[in-house]
Amino acid sequence: MSTAPTTGVTPGDAAVPRRPPYRPISDYGLIGAMHTCALVSRDGSIDWACLPDFDSPSVFGRILDWRRGGHYQVTVDDITAVERRYLPRTNVLETTFTTPTGVARLIDFMPVHPPSRSRLSLGGAGDGHRVRHPRGGAATARTSLLDEPFELRFEEKIIRILECVSGDVSFRMECVPRFDYGSVTPRVTLDRNDERHGLAHGGANALIVYCSAGMQEGDHGFTAQGRLGAGAQVYSAVASLPHFTTDFALNETWVDPEAIAVLLDRTVTYWNEWSAGCSYDGELAEEVLRSALVLKALTYEPSGAIVAAPTTSLPEELGGGRNWDYRFTWIRDASFSLGAFFDLGLTEEADGFKDWLEWTSAYPADLQLMYGIRGERRLDERELDLEGYGWSRPVRVGNGAAEQFQLDIYGELLASAWVHREVSGELPDPEYWSLLRDIVDFVTFAWQRPDAGIWETRGGYRHFVYSKVQCWTALDRGIRLAQDLIASGRGEGLSSVIARWRSVRQSIRDEVLDIGFDERVGAFVQSYGSRTLDASALMLPLVGFIHATDPRMRSTIAAIERHLTSPEGLVYRYRGFEDGLDGQEGTFIICSFWLVQNLALAGDMDKARALLGTLRGYANDLGLFSEEFDTRTGEMLGNFPQAFSHLAFVNSAVLLDRLA
């Protein structure tokens, strides 16, 4: 089999034996079904999968430790060429392998199962206020994959179909699970009466494994191999087995080729029907839909939460320590994602996030910048004893940034509420308006406090300009919502409230224009009293704080182009700022898309289109973006795929079409 591309990273200690190379981040594709995701490499290896949920410990985690992390590979020998694509308008991945003797096609997908959210009432009869809660239910004795209760019994599944298209090929299947981020080597059992079925269990995890070719035990996992002629297929699958399923018997027929075909058909149908709801039909329709499908895959369907990325600790610098867990829901990221969904006419996700937010939030003073996917508040950060992607340590799970105070989340939350109002035509219900009003009232005095800022720096709190502007946004959108409530007859007593909010909104604007813009730098700066440029200044026109054509904003855009961009035009978050962390980082994809939007709003459409075209080239062959990019090495960096990057691409493409 051909050797996978390498990152060029080797262990620093020459005495350490050379280990297999880590694959480039761009080598991976994504499959998912709104509960969790898996990353599939070009040679058919699943090197990252957390089951049953996004935030579960990894079952296959070789991307973070090549020796101990575990993997699940279905591939053929002697590969000479690889082509990949998603089946049109789906998250079903198709990989075509060419060998000297034949061609084989691998289909990878996670079945989409029935919606698991329930509707609960918070009020009396006719209240109409509804929130979602995670699924529940006891194990059943059903054994057929086609029975709906199975969806509760075996929570999440990965299914793989390898078919020889022409000639003949030698295939190989390796399922080597390593539970709890590689710390638990499982006990494996093969059904001696039917070697298509196996069980791996240890600690809090259990996995059932299937391969139609029959399996052998090996390396505390399962293997299969053989030869396929034209038209022949081999099927393989794994499923997360809850420990409460006490009646499970290894020889149960939990999956077979017929059932797999039905699940594939259902999954393709689901994604096609969902994609049909996308109203965007511009020049980049196919690429925009791919980004929308990624954002949908990053949605946790039981609660409506949206994760920032499905991975943890993919580094912002190879060999460095800027490695973070992104498998949680940031208010900021999720709010931005809703804007992207709305741009495409996809409103269901916005309703889901709104419900999640109402269920999760208590009082504004307690509002966190991020939560677990079910609304968990404690996301304690710890380090794992893993070698890290490309030997980048530490590997972290949990995220200490959850304890930071960040002012910008209030503006982003109110902005999402206003967008929901504009698109849906619906006013916030009394319960939701009560929450939003409390948030705006909180901002009227909290805006004067320093905070950690959008980039979650660990170098101390400051008066960040972007944070102040988003406080202005919270007041601005709160005023708009209140005015609409008055017009509808539901605004009793709001006139005096609006007057107070307007006064504070003007105070924030005056202060930012006075202190946040530095005449010497000729730009809006990162924080009061600093002379540091920050790409977050590019958000000022995007939230309506100032026009992109204003001379102060034009000079800010020009300064960022001069001092914060790579020769290729990609934008760094900042430079020369002590953020409390060691090491460097790459250019930020979302910041680069912000520059596209600013250029377009400033009237420089040719330049905006050219930069958008450049940025499209930094997606991988499947149209997936990482968080960052190292233009020196040509490598993707950071957690992958990144919601921030994909939503910014959607926003940019839609804006350019709108302004054309």
Q: What is the DSSP string of 309-362?
A: -S-B---SSTTSS---B--SEEHHHHHHHHHHHHHTT--HHHHHHHHHHHHH--
Boundaries of every domain in the chain: 28-116+128-273, 283-659
Residue closest to 537 by CA, chosen among 457, 454, 449: 454
DSSP SS3 for 64:
coil
Encode pLDDT of 320-372 as tens digits.
999 999 999 998 888 888 888 888 988 888 778 778 877 887 778 788 999 99
Secondary structure string (H, E, C) spanning 6-33: CCCCCCCCCCCCCCCCCCCHHHCEEEEC
* Per-residue pLDDT, 598: 98
Is 6 a residue whose pLDDT tops 80? no
Pick the CATH number of 283-659 from 3.30.479.10, 1.10.287.80, 1.50.10.10, 1.10.10.10: 1.50.10.10
* Per-residue pLDDT, 185: 96
Q: Return the CATH fold of 28-116+128-273.
A: Beta-galactosidase; Chain A, domain 5 (2.70.98)
Encode pLDDT of 491-517 as tens digits.
899 999 999 999 999 999 999 999 999
Burial 493-504 (b: 16+ CB within 10 A, else e): ebeebbeebeeb
Residue closest to 390 by CA, chosen among 3, 4, 7: 7
Residue 399 binned pLDDT confidence (cut-offs 50, 70, 90) = very high
Q: What is the DSSP string of 498-513?
A: HHHHHHHHHHHHHHII
Q: How many CA atoms lie within 13 A of 179 on its CB side?
A: 18
Residue closest to 296 by CA, chosen among 335, 265, 338: 338
State how far Cα 418 lies from the chain centre.
Answer: 23
Contact, 444 vs 475, CB < 8 A?
yes
DSSP SS3 for 616:
helix
Q: Indicate yes or no: pTM above 0.85.
A: yes
Q: What is the mean pLDDT of residues 616-643?
A: 96
Encode pLDDT of 436-454 as tens digits.
999 999 999 999 999 999 9
| Whole-number Å distance between alpha carbons of 207 and 115 | 23
Encode pLDDT of 129-170 as tens digits.
333 333 333 333 333 333 343 343 456 899 999 999 999 999
Secondary structure string (H, E, C) spanning 102-152: EEEEEEEECCCCCCCCEEEECCCCCCCCEEEECCCCCCCCCCCCCCCCHHH
Which amino acid, 148? E
Q: What are phi and psi of 600, to 5 degrees?
A: -65, -45
DSSP SS3 for 38:
strand
Contact, 240 vs 225, CB < 8 A?
no
Contact, 49 vs 60, CB < 8 A?
yes
